[in-house]
Structure 1
Amino acid sequence: MNGNKLFDFRKVRCREDVDKIIIYATSPVMQVVGEAQVMEIIVDEPEQVWQITSEYAGITKVFYDQYFHNKERAVAYRLGNVKKYSKPRSLSDFGLNFAPQSFVYV
């Protein structure tokens, strides 16, 4: 939320029509704290994606390499227009009963 991280990394690409990502804070907050527009989706070999995103990845190269270990493709979502909610919202506000392990469409 402070602007240090402009990319969200995933092993699987979402549908084409996704234009917004809801930001969930894990424990101890365990609530939705904001949202961001998907400005661009980068899909390529992990090393190529790192070269493009590393300055604003918000994670270390070691962590990145561990996450994409033995993967042929990496996906990076470039985020913009980040909006922090004045009051965090529960997952049930979005029709969810539990935190997804990957992503879910709402």
Structure 2
Amino acid sequence: MKVLLSIKPEYANSILDGSKHFEFRKSIFKREDIEKVVIYATKPVGKVVGEFDIDGVLSLEPSELWEETKHHAGISLSFFESYFTGRDKGFAIKVKNPVRYREPFDLNQVVSNGAAPQSYRYL
């Protein structure tokens, strides 16, 4: 099973070039059979640009999560702290085998209404 995630273009590029090994989320999908993430790069790109395999999901208190991921987080500590402010728990999806599509494509080719997910969408 795959899940579609909306990711800011700079972070999508960092995942696909192999420098960002974790995708951080405030909430995570409920299903346990998710094996792959399809990446929708948000505006101004506005295209489905690639995918990666999930190599596990960390679920920790934010300070512990940062300690586990900081060397390959692909984001600054200040952004991380701002993102998880007021949260007791954070999630980090471990990226494995990122693949950039040769030709990015429109969202309506995978989602019938063409609407980007606020957090995630099962495919």
TM-score (norm 1): 0.95
Q: For the residues of structure 2 that align with 1:81 and 1:62, how far apart are their CA atoms?
A: 28
1:103 aligns with 2:120: yes
Listed one character per residue, the Cα deviations across residues 69-106 of structure 1 (whole Å, up to 9, x for unaligned) are 01000100001111110000111111241111111111
1:22 aligns with 2:38: yes
Read off the aligned partner of 2:120 and give its amino acid letter.
F
Listed one character per residue, the Cα deviations across residues 23-42 of structure 1 (whole Å, up to 9, x for unaligned) are 11122210000000000100
Q: For the residues of structure 2 that align with 1:30 and 1:66, how far apart are their CA atoms?
A: 25
1:64 aligns with 2:80: yes
TM-score (norm 2): 0.82
Give the aligned partner of residue 91 of structure 1.
Answer: 107
CA RMSD of aligned residues (A): 1.0
Q: Could you list the runs of 5+ residues in structure 2 that have no partner in the other structure?
A: 1-15
Read off the aligned partner of 1:30 and give its amino acid letter.
G
Q: Could you list the runs of 5+ residues in structure 1 that have no partner in the other structure?
A: none
Between stretches 61-70 and 12-21, larger displacement belongs to: 12-21
Q: For the residues of structure 2 that align with 1:74 and 1:51, how far apart are their CA atoms?
A: 12
Read off the aligned partner of 1:82 and give its amino acid letter.
P
